[in-house]
Amino acid sequence: MTLTVHDAAGLRDALRARRTAGPVVLVPTMGALHAGHLSLVAIARERAGEGGTVVVSIFVNPIQFDRRDDLDAYPRPLEADLDACRSAGVDVVFAPSADAMYAPDRSVTVTETALSRHLCGASRPCHFDGVCTVCLKLFLLTGCDAAVFGEKDFQQLAVIRRMARDLDVPVEILAGPTLREPDGLAMSSRNARLTPKQRADAPRLHRALRDAAALDSPADILAAARREIEASPHARIDYLELVHPHTLRPASARPAVLAAAVFYGHVRLIDHVHLPVAGASGSGKK
Ligand code: PAF
């Protein structure tokens, strides 16, 4: 049975008895759940084991949005999400309101000051403050032993891992691989907001990154990816960068990550591929 709770007290009650039976594993989400989220739930289930508890949080976190229109347009199909959680065997869904999460005069924010300065953090300056703050709150509210994040948001994953390391947060951070539609588009809750024309064009983003990653020089890689993405009349590049996988600073050699954020109308999609050192194993381009 899946229990749905909406505030800290409900969550505490729901988890009190369960905590002694096994690990609590959290999958933090903003809802509009798709197969990518459900694959993270499967990882959580595996980590929690038979006696453990899988918690999915569904919260469209206002403080990580830089644009009001983006926050307002973010899909919130709560009933469908709850059905998906029930079918996936989630034990507890935590779906708080913004008022339940944040005091009106809240004045504490968690800021990561290195990794979050690049890529999405450069174009959305307060985004990772919002992500770190809400994730730390979710870790504390659930008292989770582990939390599962998608590799699609690879910068988010790096920032959360850094936060957990630097603040000694006793939560194991697990990652699940990016799931893609058959045409290569990375699964994202934002895909549903694309018009049919934008949706038909969006797979070009992954193709551009994947094909460019096969080239040798950073200049050629960036130029080829830019050419391919900009060949679409619907796409506007927010950033396209080659960065070091650990520091996220601009990279001029492998290993590197070729990462992009591209607007299709008002919808901003992100994607990336890894460029491993030549001959290195485990290089799977995502
Ligand atoms: O990746 C997301 O959906 C969000 O950034 C997260 C981790 C749930 C925090 O709001």
DSSP string, 223-259: HHHHHHHHTSTTEEEEEEEEE-TTT-SB-SSSSEEEE
Q: What is the CATH number of domain 3-176?
A: 3.40.50.620
Chain Cα centroid distance, residue 61: 13
Superfamily of domain 189-275: Pantoate-beta-alanine ligase, C-terminal domain (3.30.1300.10)
Is the CB of residue 94 less than 8 Å from the CB of residue 57? yes
Per annotation, catalytic residue among 37, 118, 206, 274: 37
DSSP string, 20-40: TTS-EEEEEE-S---HHHHHH
Tell me what pLDDT residue 283 has: 40
Is the CB of residue 55 less than 8 Å from the CB of residue 15? yes
Nearest-atom index, ligand 1, CA of 57: 8
Q: Is the CB of 40 under 6 A from ligand 1?
A: no
Among 208, 203, 271, 260, residue whose Cα is nearest residue 237: 260
Among 155, 151, 138, residue whose Cα is nearest residue 43: 151
Q: What angle do CA 9, 13, 14 make, to 5 degrees?
A: 115
pTM here is: 0.96
Burial of 88 (0-12, 13-18, 19+ CB in 10 A): buried
- For residue 61, the CA-to-ligand 1 centroid distance in Å is 8
Give the C-alpha separation, 228 to 271, whole Å: 14
**SS3 state of residue 116:** helix
- For residue 248, the CA-to-ligand 1 centroid distance in Å is 19
Q: Is the CB of 153 under 6 A from ligand 1?
A: yes
Tell me what pLDDT residue 286 has: 38
One digit per residue, the tens of pLDDT, for the chain of length 286 reads: 999 999 999 999 999 999 999 999 999 999 999 999 999 999 999 999 999 999 999 999 999 999 999 999 999 999 999 999 999 999 999 999 999 999 999 999 999 999 999 999 999 999 999 999 999 999 999 999 999 999 999 999 999 999 999 999 999 999 999 999 999 999 999 999 999 999 999 999 999 999 999 999 999 999 999 999 999 999 999 999 999 999 999 999 999 999 999 999 999 999 999 999 987 754 433 3
CA diameter of the chain: 57
Residue range(s) occupied by CATH 3.30.1300.10 in the chain: 189-275
Concerning whether 234 is annotated as a catalytic residue, the answer is no
Q: What angle do CA 250, 159, 239 make, to 5 degrees?
A: 40
Nearest-atom index, ligand 1, CA of 138: 9
Q: Is the CB of 163 under 6 A from ligand 1?
A: no
Is the CB of residue 15 less than 8 Å from the CB of residue 50? no
- For residue 207, the CA-to-ligand 1 centroid distance in Å is 25
Among 188, 271, 286, residue whose Cα is nearest residue 229: 271
Give the C-alpha separation, 4 to 225, whole Å: 44
The secondary structure element, H or E, covering residue 81 is helix 78-87
